[in-house]
């Protein structure tokens, strides 16, 4: 079982993506891989049905399609959404990852 948290901002972003780009039964596919400053990077899409090997997870009312590696990497992660002058998108807060970004 995958244990992660969606913030209200991430939930709203995912719901809007599915409502805008998906039809009935569509879900938000979140393919996470190691990398990026938070330790994770993501390939996101809205698709009609899960791909082979994906698990369907309903998290806070959002239907997510998660590949096996993503389910492992998202363990204990908080998924947030940021909209700043320098970046817009999902942000992963992984308590297991050391910070690597300078905040100067």
Q: What is the mean pLDDT of each run of 10 residues along the chain (104 residues)?
A: 88 95 93 79 94 94 94 94 90 76 48
**For residue 60, what are the contacts with CB-CB under 8 A and spacing of at least 6?**
6, 11
pLDDT of residue 97: 72
Q: Considering the entire predicted model, what is its pTM?
A: 0.85
Contact 44, 29 (CB under 8 A): yes
Contact 77, 40 (CB under 8 A): yes
The structural domains of the chain, ordered by start, are: 5-93 (2.60.300.12)
Q: How far is CA 16 from the centre of its chain?
A: 14
pLDDT of residue 2: 66
Classify 70 as helix, strand or coil.
Answer: helix
pLDDT of residue 100: 55
């Amino acid at each position: 079982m995958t244990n992660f948290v969606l913030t209200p901002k991430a939930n709203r972003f995912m719901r809007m993506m599915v409502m805008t780009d998906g039809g009935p039964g569509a879900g938000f596919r979140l393919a996470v891989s190691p990398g990026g400053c938070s330790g994770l990077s993501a390939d996101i899409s809205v698709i009609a049905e899960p791909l082979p090997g994906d698990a369907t997870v309903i998290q806070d009312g959002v239907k997510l399609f998660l590949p096996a590696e993503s389910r492992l990497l998202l363990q204990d992660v908080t998924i947030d959404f940021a909209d700043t002058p320098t970046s817009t998108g999902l942000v992963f807060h992984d308590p297991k990852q050391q910070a690597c970004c300078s905040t100067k």
